[in-house]
Structure 1
Amino acid sequence: MAPDDRQKVLYYVERYLPPSQAFVAQQARALARYQPAILAGSTMASLDRDLIGFPVHDIRASPAMRAGEFALKTVRLPAPALFPAVRQADLVHAHFGKNGYVIGPLAAGKPLVTTFHGFDATFAGKAADVDGFNQVRFFAKGREQMARGGGWQIAVSDFIQDRLLALGFPQSRIFRHYIGVDTSLFSAPTKPRRKGLVVSVARFVEYKGHKLMIEALERVAKAGTPVEFIMIGEGPLRDEIEALARRSLPKVEIREKQTQAQIRDLLSEAELYLHGAVTLANGHAEAFGIANLEAQAMGAPVVAFRSGGVGEAVEEGATGFLAAERDVAAMADHIGRLLNDQPLWNAFSERAPRMVAERFDIRRQTALLEDYYDSVLDAHKKGEARR
């Protein structure tokens, strides 16, 4: 086999890879002109086969890297000799703001790109209220230091770009980039849908709005429209949400630890995808909502609240409906309308995959990302990293 002479990009993540972050692997796999590798604080015991296919360097599996990570995370002392993958990389790309802050000293001398995905840009509460030493340090001072310092930032939506600008990040350092969806995997099925099936894929945390979705579906069911609600996810509010759903709805199921293939299978049966994310008092809001794109790519219309960057992933009135934030009555009306108006549902279901393919195909989006990598490397060579 001929040697791979493509330039190397190293993705840094805390853990490889929770299901909610599958987009990291999908983006890496879509690279054409760059050779990807992953540096992870740890890897999950069993990886979905959709998430492998390139080198994954597990820090926990290497005593040398573990020692280097300890020094990096405690006193921010870099030891690049202990991290061969960093030395070999032409560019380092950290996913999530905290990870960009953590790896910053280790990536010194390399161009560093950090993608901000949501909480890292929207959180406006007290640093002491978050979990984890480096998460606290990131919100206490690290985010501000990143805004003043060098490096390049990617915002996953216009909404997140606006938040970064408000935090003082310079416009010249921000690239708004939609990650996109692999439309060769997420595509509209030909088999019939399961009547009344509504699906949600989201962690069981407050801002995902499960209680509001359940309340909306309860209204729909009481109005006489049969609904079945399947939620995929894990999280601290799981038991509370399940108990509420079983009290409120006739048919409920929760599925955990689903592979990407299993999620696709379920979306192929769904008549509707429901997204309940809302803005919290601490500022946290949905950055974009890739799951909304995945559902639409498979022909499932979306009903959601107009919150954060959600509207950027839905063609309102053509692929889905958006209700005012926390307006449960309006959400219920939208759900009932789509489930009871077959011609309308057909039109939305036909338009949704085309919209995703036209605007959010991951191959097209990743080609744009590689162009951005080119510009970052060029700027770095010209000494612009700290201007």
Structure 2
Amino acid sequence: MKVPSPVAFYPPLKSPRHPTPSGDRTMARLLMAALERAGARPELMSELRTFEPAGDPRRQAELREAGLREAERIVAQVGARPPAERPRAWFTYHVYYKAPDWIGPAVAGALGIPYLVAEGSRAGKRAGGPWAIGHEGAEAALDRADAILVLTGADREALERHRPAGQRLVDLPPFLDTAPWTPRVGPRPAGPARLVTVAMMRHGDKLASYRLLAAALGGSARDWTLDVIGDGEARPEVEAAFAGFGTRVRFLGRRDDRSALAAELRRADLFVWPAVNEAYGLALLEAQACGVPVLAGAFGGVADVVRDGHTGLLVRPGDAGAFTRALDSLLADPDRLAALSRRAAAFVHGERGLGSAAARLAGALEGVREAACA
């Protein structure tokens, strides 16, 4: 029996142990699970969060220094272990200008091990602005990476354009542990179309999406109800946006338990989310795995998790009228909605499970090891 190979794991944006749920926390956990299935033994090496959202150069400099000190600590700690217990590779999840990796490149260099990044984003326009320090750290980490696992086509374009010689770009489409997310069994209950959305209630892009959804629903001529699953500091503003719909809209709060969330999703006919500036949206995959097709705005990497016309519909970003028209066309055609439902479940369970992700990760790890030995 092959002994799992130790791999250092680090998420500078949000630890898998962070108390607040989010897509980043979920993906960090999923990556660790997929690494295990790929034959690795991931170890969370640090929970230093380098996220700096305000554009504060002083805070970014403090985080850089903290990261370098943390790297020194880890090198000393790992160096004291028996050789068989030392990591064979360093794996960082999600590097961009607001959450650079100051630790991984330093540790990987000191230990002489490959350095991999999953979900790395380049943003050249941040080079001279308030996030200049964070941008510098993110670019240095991405330049240093032996391999970058690319989650979306939106990220790939810039990564290809600035790829250093010898760096491997490996496609790793967003994925799920599909076990909890099973489709509904049995006929659809009678009554109005059941819409659902799942998102945190934060100011900024999330609130903009909620307001856009309310505007789109306000123009609909169809009979529907909407269940909103999520919570957060912007809840008063979200509730105000939907106040005119009365009892047609229910606010269910957070559903941290995956089984409870899956049960709510299975009751729905259509998942609706404008997805303003969404990176990709794991909730869209979860809905499809439950056999719920998606209507979303075509922002960012949303097209990498929803197959337009096959598992759902994507509309022009930020266009409430286009969203309304797409919604009404779907609700007027139950047969089309049912076909999208079947294909959505087949897509996620067939192509976006842990097994598919583990195979890609195993290939990436083997590739960088072979390159290191060449």
Q: Give the distance between the partners of 2:313 and 2:263, measured in 1 at CA.
A: 23
TM-score (norm 1): 0.76
Cα 1:228–1:76 shift into 2, 3 Å: closer
Match of 1:138 among 134, 151, 165: 134
1:167-225 alpha-carbon deviations (Å, 9 max, x no partner): 555684322211422233222121555643322223334334222112112222xx242
For the residue of structure 2 that corresponds to 1:106, the secondary structure is helix
Partner Cα distance (2:249, 2:166) in 1? 48
Secondary structure class of the residue paired with 1:352: helix
Give 5+ residue unaligned stretches, structure 2. 50-62
Tell whether 2:358 aligns with 1:366: yes
User: Within 2, Cα distance between the matches of 1:246 and 1:148?
Assistant: 49
Which of 279, 303, 323 does residue 295 from structure 2 map onto? Answer: 303
Q: Which secondary structure state, in structure 2, belongs to the residue aligned with residue 187 of structure 1? A: coil
Matched, 1:242 2:243: no
- The residue that corresponds to 1:210 in the other structure is 210
Cα separation, 2, equivalents of 1:305 and 1:378: 41
Aligned-partner residue type, residue 362 of structure 2: E
Residue identity matched to 1:78 = E
* Alignment map for 1:190-339 (pairs within 5 Å): 190-191=185-186, 195-203=192-200, 204-208=202-206, 209-220=209-220, 223-234=221-232, 236-247=233-244, 250-256=248-254, 258-278=256-276, 285-339=277-331
Distance 1:336 1:27 in 2: 37
C-alpha distance in 2 between matches for 1:343 and 1:96: 40
Q: Does 1:26 align with 2:34?
A: no
C-alpha change, 1:170 and 1:374, in structure 2 (3 Å) is same
Q: Give 1:107's aligned residue.
A: 108
Q: Secondary structure at the match of 2:108?
A: coil
Determine whether 1:37 maps to 2:49. no
Distance 2:266 2:124 in 1: 34
The match for 1:116 is 119
Deviation at 1:262, TM superposition (A): 2.4
Letter in 2 for 1:27: L
Query: Residue 107 of structure 1 aligns to a residue in which SS?
Result: helix
Same amino acid, percent of matched pairs: 21
2:147 & 2:171 partners in 1: Cα distance? 11
Q: 1:125-164 alignment to 2 at 5 Å?
A: 125=126, 137-139=133-135, 141-164=136-159
State which drifts further: 361-370 or 73-82: 73-82
The answer to whether the Cα contact below 8 Å between 1:233 and 1:257 also exists between their aligned partners in 2 is no
Q: Please tell me the residue identity of whatever aligns with 1:255.
A: G
Question: Within 2, Cα distance between the matches of 1:114 and 1:146?
Answer: 8
What's the offset of the Cα at 1:76?
Answer: 7.2
Give the 3-state SS of the residue equivalent to 2:140 in structure 1: helix
Q: TM-score, normalised by structure 2?
A: 0.79
Match 1:181 to one of 173, 176, 193: 176
Q: CA RMSD in A?
A: 3.1
- Distance in 1, matches of 2:92 and 2:10, equals 5
Partner of 2:67: 73
- Counterpart of 1:58 in structure 2 is none
Tell me, in whole angstroms, the C-alpha distance in 2 between the residues paired with 1:377 and 1:233. 43
Matches within 5 A, 1:338-349: 338-349=330-341
How far, CA to CA, are the matches of 2:234 and 2:286 in structure 1? 24
Deviation at residue 299 of structure 1 after TM alignment? 0.6
Letter in 1 for 2:216: A
Instruction: Quote the offset at 1:40 in angstroms.
Output: 4.2
Q: Distance in 2 between matches of 1:354 and 1:160?
A: 26
Output the CA distance in 2 between the equivalents of 1:165 and 1:379.
19
Shift of 1:125: 4.6
> Does the Cα contact within 8 Å between 1:8 and 1:89 map onto a contact in 2?
yes
Quick one: distance in 2 between partners of 1:93 and 1:159?
21
Query: Contact 2:228–2:251 (CA<8 Å) still a contact in 1?
Result: yes
User: What is residue 165 of structure 1 aligned with on the other side?
Assistant: 160
SS state of the match for residue 296, structure 1? helix
| 1:265–1:297 CA distance, 2 compared to 1 (3 A) | same
Structure 1 residues 360, 224: CA separation in 2 closer, same or farther (over 3 Å shift)?
closer
What are the Cα deviations for residues 44-85 of structure 1, in whole angstroms up to 9, with x where unaligned? Answer: xxxxxxxxxxxxxxxxxxxxxxxxx99642667623123579
- For each residue in 1:275-331, what CA deviation from the matched residue of structure 2 results, as whole angstroms up to 9, or x when unmatched? 2123xxxxxx33333321221111101001122221122222221111111111111
